[in-house]
Amino acid sequence: MEMGINQSEKAEQAFQQAAAYNFSSMQQFKLLCEQAGWIVSEKEDGVNLIKSGKVQKVVPKEALNEIIKNNALHNDEARAKQVKALLHKYKEGLTYKQLQGLMKEKFGIHLEFHTGKGHTTPYGYTVIDNPGKRVYKGSDLMNIKEILTPPDTQNRIDACGQRSV
C-alpha cells in the first residue's frame, strides 16, 4: 500500500475520532488533532491535517462549524460538574503540573496548558475529558489563577483537615 493513501486514511480516522468529541471551537478541534499527533494548520478553506510533510486531509470550515453548532445543542452539565468537582477536590496541595499528571493518570482527563511565546507561566488551559468525549475551556471549570496558585503549608494543612472524617 502506498504511504500517501495510508496517511490519508489515518487522517480521516483522526478526523472521525476528533469529531466524536463535543468541542465548541475551531481551536479545540485543532488541539484534539494535535493530541493525536497531527500537524494542524488553519487555512481560508479549512483545517489541514499534515503528516510526512504534506496535507493528508482538509476539513472544510463549514463542516466544522456545523459540528460545533450541533455540539452546542448537546451540553452535558452533569459531566461538566463532575470534572469541575474533580479539579477542585484534587487541586488542594498540588502544583498545576502535579494536578495535570494526576488527572491524566487517574481519570484520563488531559489538562493542556497554554503559554505565550517566551513565557513559562500559562495564561489559560483546555480540559480534554477523554472518558466523557468532551473538551472544555478551562476557565469554565476553574480559574487559571486558582490552578496556578502554588500550594503552601497552610493550604496543605487545611486540605488535610477538610478530607478527614
Query: In this predicted model, what pLDDT tens digit does every residue of 50-85 receive, in sequence order?
Result: 998 999 999 999 999 999 999 988 878 899 999 999
Mean pLDDT, all residues of the chain: 88
Q: Cell 488527572 belongs to which residue?
A: 103
Checking if the pLDDT of 46 tops 80, the result is yes
- pLDDT of 93 reads 85
Q: What is the rounded distance in angstroms from the CA atom of residue 62 to the CA atom of residue 8?
A: 20
Which DSSP symbol is given to 100? H
Cell representation of residue 34: 494535535
Q: Provide the strand spans (E) within 21-149.
A: 39-42, 46-51, 54-60, 109-114, 124-129, 134-137
- pLDDT of 150 reads 81
pLDDT bin (cut points 50, 70, 90) of residue 165 is very low
Half-sphere exposure of 48 (CA within 13 A, CB side): 13
Between residues 2 and 25, the one the model is more confident about? 25
pTM exceeding the 0.85 threshold for the entire prediction: no
pLDDT bin (cut points 50, 70, 90) of residue 160 is low
- pLDDT of 156 reads 56
pLDDT in tens, 99-138: 999 999 999 999 999 999 998 899 999 999 999 999 999 9
Going from N- to C-terminal start, the domains of the chain cover 3-73, 77-163
Cell representation of residue 102: 494526576
Q: What is the rounded distance in angstroms from the CA atom of residue 122 to the CA atom of residue 164?
A: 32
- Give the SS3 label for residue 2: coil
